Amino acid sequence: MRWSKYYLPTYKEVPKDAEIPSHQLMLRAGMIRMLTSGVYSFLPMGYRVLRRVETIVREEMDRTGAQEVQMPVLHPAELYEETGRLKNFGEILFQLKDRRARLFALGPTHEEVVTDIARAEIKSYRQLPQTLYQIQTKFRDEFRPRFGVMRAREFMMKDAYSFHASDESLHDTYAAMAGAYRRILERLGLEGVQVQAESGAIGGDINEEFIVLADAGESVMFRCASCGYAANDERAVSLGPAMLEKELSAKMENVATPGQHTVDEVSAFFKVSKQRLVKTLLYKSKWRDIAVLVPGDRELNEVKLAKALDDPDVRPMTPEEVEALTGAPVGFAGPVGLKAIIIADELMNAYDGMIVGANAADAHLRGVKMGRDFKPERTAPLSTVVAGDRCASCGKGELQLQRGVEIGHIFKLDVKYSKAMRATFLDQEGQEQPFIMGCYGFGVSRAVAAAIEQHYDERGIRWPKALTPFHAVVTPLNLNDESTVGAMERVYAELKAAGFDVLLDDRDLRPGPKFKDAELIGVPMRVTLGERNLKDGNCEIFYRLDDRTDVVPLADAVASVRRYYEA
């Protein structure tokens, strides 16, 4: 490819609407351009990288025996009514109507479509298991698209779906997919972690995420250094803080606390740590009033609450509802004497002598004991884990917080979709059974951004070998010099003949801009042709990742490139 003819518009300056490194660099390196919020074109160089990811994902899927298909993007809404997800997905689902006013959706994922395919043809356990996958554009009307292709409304995803007659068979495929994902990450040159997760709108109980470590990532996970436990923030549980204060006096008394609403204010007022306080958070769940208790030094995790109550629609009370229930303004709610179902974070079992709101304006209760002064209906893991907590899995290690990008998510769906959609087969006994299913997503376009988050420096992108759009860029320094032009054509032709993807920087620019651009777009090797070395029959090989330069005979340029990529 000749750079002078290649559509590769680079920016010297940082676009003002891009916040994180991958977004800035994808724009600056001419990989993507925005059409509208959360919707991007991939320009030639970006598309090359995207295809590299696709190829690796495809190869690893095929290796597991999964079969590639291409399903529609346009889905009739009735399909989602069968599974209840028309409502469940809510506003995430892009919806549109055809000319006869029939409702359609742009596919956010394909469980319904693939289940519809399977139920039409798979009738016997003898036809199982089967795994189908596709690499395709997905549409989700995100609440807040951001960070370029990292969280886009239109994005490229690989999604696979498996159908089984038994749990064992599902387990095998699930494990095979997990293995495939680990290989994909390795081949892409990405450092990732497999973590326990929550399933969200997809459903199913057992599921794991693959998180690529990155400071700019939106996912938060906790890992135990001593036992290997790893879970995302929605799922992670702990034994609480390593050190827990014990209060000796445990006599309940009412204390006037004028104007002290927040945890910070109240803990300052009593001159105690936040561990001594209890947050009483009031929720409405299926028309019931719920009081949720969590330690003052941590946050309630609403995902955990929804799971504990088995109510995805649980919501915080409005200030008016809070006042109606407690008889006090927001900030003074407490469990003692409250007419609500009390559900306490399980860490509360270890806490003692707590400070709670008194359900009266400007008053708190001190020395409150759970079980004596109030009785929770039950306890459950509700609060968020805090870095430094003791690991619940081994009881010894400390949980460490790490950020990353969710790149893959695999689920055991069980019969959630097959049952709802009456997708059944006959088992060995002639009994009709719903398919046991799994589904396995991988964010292809997101992987490109994640790779950049892990591989960049102040000068630009530093592509891993497997992802680079070009193996080498050939950079002649003076196009007015005949020997330079001759050498450039020769090296370019030789590299192409050897099967490498080469970018020839034949633009009539001075060396500076050429070097800067080459480093910005992140090609790992640069073959520099300048008169200084050429007069001795030499060229320079610059290695972007090592920031190292070798001078080698011109005739060895191809061998150098080959050596680099074969290493």
Partner RNA sequence: CGGGGCGUAGCGCAGUCCGGUUAGCGCGCCUGCUUCGGGAGCAGGAGGUCGGAGGUUCGAAUCCUCUCGCCCCGACCA
**Which residue ranges make up the site for RNA (CB under 7 A)?**
10-17, 19, 34, 36-38, 92, 140, 142-147, 151-152, 155, 157, 198, 200-202, 209, 218, 302-303, 406, 409, 441, 443, 446, 459, 477-480, 510-513, 515-517, 519-520, 528, 530-534, 540, 542, 549
SS (H, E, C) 101-132: CCEEEECCCCHHHHHHHHHHHCCEHHHCCEEE
Q: What are the phi and psi torsion angles at 146 (to 5°)?
A: -165, 170
Minimum CB–partner distance for residue 257 and RNA (Å)? 26
The smaller minimum CB distance to RNA, of residues 143 and 287, is found at: 143
**Residue 297 has which token pair?**
């030094």
Residue 514 in contact with residue 526, Cβ under 8 Å?
no
Helix (H, G, I), strand (E, B) or coil at 242: coil
The smaller minimum CB distance to RNA, of residues 125 and 210, is found at: 210
CA distance 38 to 20: 15
The smaller minimum CB distance to RNA, of residues 232 and 238, is found at: 232
The smaller minimum CB distance to RNA, of residues 144 and 372, is found at: 144
Minimum CB–partner distance for residue 282 and RNA (Å)? 14
Minimum CB–partner distance for residue 491 and RNA (Å)? 13
Minimum CB–partner distance for residue 517 and RNA (Å)? 5
CA distance 209 to 239: 23
User: How many other C-beta atoms can be found within 10 angstroms of the C-beta atom of residue 307?
Assistant: 20
CA distance to 57, 511, 516, 552, per residue, from 557 (Å): 31, 20, 21, 7
Minimum CB–partner distance for residue 437 and RNA (Å)? 16
196: enclosing H helix or E strand: strand 192-196
The smaller minimum CB distance to RNA, of residues 68 and 531, is found at: 531
Please report, as a single letter, which amino acid is at residue 262.
Answer: T
Q: Residue 74: CB partners within 8 Å, gap ≥ 6?
A: 104, 105, 106, 107
Minimum CB–partner distance for residue 493 and RNA (Å)? 20
Q: What are the phi and psi torsion angles at 209 (to 5°)?
A: -105, 150
Rounded to 5°, the CA angle 15-18-20 comes to 130
The smaller minimum CB distance to RNA, of residues 292 and 328, is found at: 292
The smaller minimum CB distance to RNA, of residues 446 and 462, is found at: 446
Minimum CB–partner distance for residue 288 and RNA (Å)? 18
The smaller minimum CB distance to RNA, of residues 152 and 342, is found at: 152
Minimum CB–partner distance for residue 237 and RNA (Å)? 18
Residue 515 in contact with residue 475, Cβ under 8 Å?
yes
The smaller minimum CB distance to RNA, of residues 366 and 455, is found at: 455
Minimum CB–partner distance for residue 47 and RNA (Å)? 18
Of 521, 506, 544, 526, which Cα lies nearest the Cα of 28?
Answer: 521
